[in-house]
Amino acid sequence: MYAKPTSDDYWKLYYKFGGSFLPPNNPHPLLGWIGYFDGKTLDHWDINPPSNRRKVLIYGDSYIMCAHDSIQCFDEILNADTVFNKENVLLNYGVGGYGVDQIYFLFANTVDKFEKPFVVFSVMPTDMDRCLLSVRTGQKPYFIEEEDSLKLCGVPIDSVPDNFFQQNRTEITSYLWRRIINSNINLFYDPIIISDKLKTKIMQLNKKLLLRAYNDIKKRNLEYVFLIFDELWSKDGNWRVDSLQAFFGKEKMAFINTSNLVAEDSTFSTYAYDHYTIKGDGHPNSHYNRLVCEEIKKYIFEYNTYSRTRQNISVKRKEDHSVNFMKEVYGRTLLGLRP
């Protein structure tokens, strides 16, 4: 009611009003909260992966970590695959709530622990928005642009989370005014659309981060693929996915766009979000994860040929995710009509 999730104020209020996800008790000085790895060394909890198999490292947010135990996750699917596991083992470095900045830092600080790993760097499109924040469910690192470079800010993370929130209050001077501009009383208010200026800022910052990750990968002469993990249900159009795909294509960076996998999926005769996402949640279900795993395998086993062939394939979406479509669907639903 008082701020949008793309602002620090939103998350400061989330903490103040007792949000269900609390800051970590012992935050990592660089990353903030962490996932299934050692908080000091960043060693993966699967500490004894077979030494004679190549490590496939997958990085990302809760889409990669997998939000529910009932869902088959990437490590479960691929490490049980007898074709994949003959020569490879996947280590899952996904962490819920991470932005592209945190994903990058985790990648940069773990990739050298392994000899010639294959890297899967996943970006759920709204992960890019999180790079604007200095705090989410806890304090996080962030970059600001300075001319042609990036300046790291917000580190080291305060070891006592409450200190950060005490010392960094919201910038709200009038809650009444904020309530008005974040409601339908404001004729220009739209909870879905973000401004063109903010879109430009999001893309400029993330392109620099992703190029930094790509240069780190190429410097090490590693095989890799970037993964655009399409949310499918996003309500403000496809601009993030389209911008990412154009960027990866321009820079000749190998990538997977999961919306293409959905468009090519012949499993279902009709399209429905519930075929690919957890109902009422939005996170990928086991079927969606299996589609992604099969595509990752193709990059791993046919790296020198498949990536070049795949990038030239343009697939028409199965569903119109545009703003007008979403507004039409929600409008008809509110009227009691079947969308």
DSSP annotation string for 236-265 = S-SHHHHHHHHHHHHTT--EEEHHHHHHH-
- Quick check: helix, strand or coil at residue 156? coil
Kindly tell me the burial class for residue 84, based on how many C-beta atoms sit within 10 Å of its own C-beta (0-12, 13-18, 19 or more): buried
CA distance 66 to 251: 29
Tokens standing for 338? 């079947």
C-beta of residue 188 within 8 angstroms of C-beta of residue 84? no
Structure tokens at 281: 């949640």
What's residue 102's pLDDT? 98
Total domains in the chain come to 1
pLDDT at residue 328, as a whole number: 46
167 CB burial (10 A radius; 0-12, 13-18, 19+): exposed
pTM of the entire predicted model:
0.90
Q: Is residue 3 part of a domain?
A: no
Q: Is residue 131 part of a domain?
A: yes
Q: How far apart are CA 63 and CA 281, in angstroms?
A: 12
Q: Give the C-alpha separation, 42 to 53, whole Å.
A: 20
Given a contact cutoff of 8 angstroms between Cβ atoms, the answer to whether 229 and 260 are in contact is no
CA dihedral 255, 46, 290, 121 (to 10 degrees): -10
Question: In this structure, is residue 1 part of a structural domain?
Answer: no
Its domain, for residue 78, covers: 8-334
Cα–Cα distance for residue pair 16/135, rounded to 1 Å: 13
- Whether residue 261 is contained in a domain is answered as yes
Q: How far is CA 97 from CA 33, 66, 177, 244, 320, in A?
A: 9, 11, 29, 20, 27
Nearest to 254 by CA among 115, 121, 128, 104: 121
Predicted local confidence at residue 258, as pLDDT: 94
Contacts of 331 (CB under 8 A, 6+ apart): none
The burial of 65, by beta-carbon neighbours within 10 Å (0-12 exposed, 13-18 middle, 19 or more buried), is given as buried
Phi and psi at residue 64, in whole multiples of 5°? -90, -40
Q: How far is CA 20 from the centre of its chain?
A: 20
d(CA 121, CA 58): 6
CB atoms within 10 A of CB 244: 23
Q: Could you tell me if residue 339 is inside a domain?
A: no
Q: What is the pLDDT of residue 232?
A: 84
Beta-strand relationship, 118-123 and 54-60:
parallel
Decide if 2 is inside a domain.
Answer: no
pLDDT in tens, the chain (339 residues): 899 888 999 999 999 999 999 999 889 999 999 998 999 999 998 767 777 899 999 999 999 999 788 899 999 999 999 999 999 999 999 999 999 999 999 999 999 999 999 999 999 999 999 999 999 999 999 999 988 889 999 999 999 999 999 999 999 999 999 999 888 788 777 766 678 899 999 999 999 999 999 999 999 999 999 999 998 877 777 899 999 999 999 999 999 999 999 999 999 988 888 899 998 888 999 999 999 999 999 999 999 888 878 876 666 666 654 444 444 444 443 333 333
How far apart are alpha carbons 257 and 240 in whole angstroms? 12
CATH number at residue 321: 3.40.50.1110
Is 136 in contact with 164 (CB distance < 8 Å)?
no
How far, in Å, CA of 120 to CA of 55, rounded? 11
DSSP letter for 28, please. B
188 assigned to some structural domain: yes
Q: Does 203 reside within a domain?
A: yes
